[in-house]
Structure 1
Amino acid sequence: MIVPSSNLTMETELPRMLREREAADPSDRFVFHSSRMRMQKVTPEQLREMNAQTERASLELADARPDVVATACLVAIMAQGPGHHCTAEDEITSVLKGQGAEVPVVSSAGALLSGIEALGAKRVAVITPYMKPLTETVVNYIEDAGSEVVDSLSLEVPDNLAVARLDPEGLREHWRRLHLARADAIVLSACVQMPSLPAVQYVEDASGLPVLTAATATTYRILTELGLKPFVPDAGALLDGGH
Structure 2
Amino acid sequence: MNSTHKAPTMQYRIGQIVPSSNITMEREVPAIFAKRMEVLPERFSFHSSRVRMHRVVAEELAQMNRDMGRCAQELADARVDIMSTACLVATMCMGPGYHRQTVEDLSAEIGDVENMPAVMTSAGALVEELKDFGARRISLLAPYSDALTRTVIEYIETEGIVVQDAINFSILDNLEVGARDPMKLLEDVKQLNVTGVDVVVLSACVQMPSLPALEIAQQALGIPVTSTAACTVRQMLRRLNLRAEAPGAGALLGSRTGLA
Please, what TM-score do these two structures have when normalized by structure 2? 0.90
Indicate the residue corresponding to 2:45 in structure 1: 31
Uncovered stretches (5+) of structure 1, i.e. residues with no partner: none
Tell me the equivalent position of 1:19.
34
Given candidates 143, 151, 168, the residue that maps to 1:129 is 143
Structure 2: runs of 5+ lacking an equivalent: 1-15
- For the 8 Å contact 1:130–1:158, the answer to whether it is kept is yes
SS in 2 for 1:98: coil
Task: Please identify the structure whose Cα radius of gyration is greater.
Answer: 2
3-state DSSP of counterpart to 2:249? coil
> 1:237 aligns to what?
251
| CA pair 216-84 structure 1, distance change in 2 beyond 3 A | same
Q: Output the CA distance in 2 between the equivalents of 1:118 and 1:210.
A: 14
Specify the alignment match of 1:8 in structure 2: 23
CA distance in 2, matches of 1:228, 1:138: 29
Match of 1:88, as an amino acid? Answer: T
Q: CA RMSD in A?
A: 1.2
8 Å contact from structure 2 (residues 247, 255) kept in 1: no
Larger relative strand fraction: 2
Distance 1:73 1:134 in 2: 13
- CA–CA separation in structure 2 for the residues paired with 1:52 and 1:126: 28
Matched, 1:161 2:161: no
Residue 84 of structure 2 aligns to a residue whose secondary structure is strand
CA positional deviation for 1:55: 1.1
**Matched residue SS, 2:111:** helix
What secondary structure is seen at the aligned counterpart in 1 of 2:141? strand
Contact 2:248 2:255 in 1 (8 A): no
TM-score by length of 1: 0.96
Counterpart residue number, 1:98: 112
CA contact (8 A) 1:119 1:210 kept: no
How many Å apart are 1:179 and its aligned residue?
0.9
- How many residues of Structure 1 are paired with residues of Structure 2 in the alignment? 241
Corresponding residue for residue 205 of structure 1? 219
The Cα offsets for residues 200-233 of structure 1, whole Å up to 9 and x where unpaired, read as: 0111111111111110000000111111101110
Structure 1 residue 241, shift from structure 2 partner: 7.5
Query: Paired residue for 2:80?
Result: 66
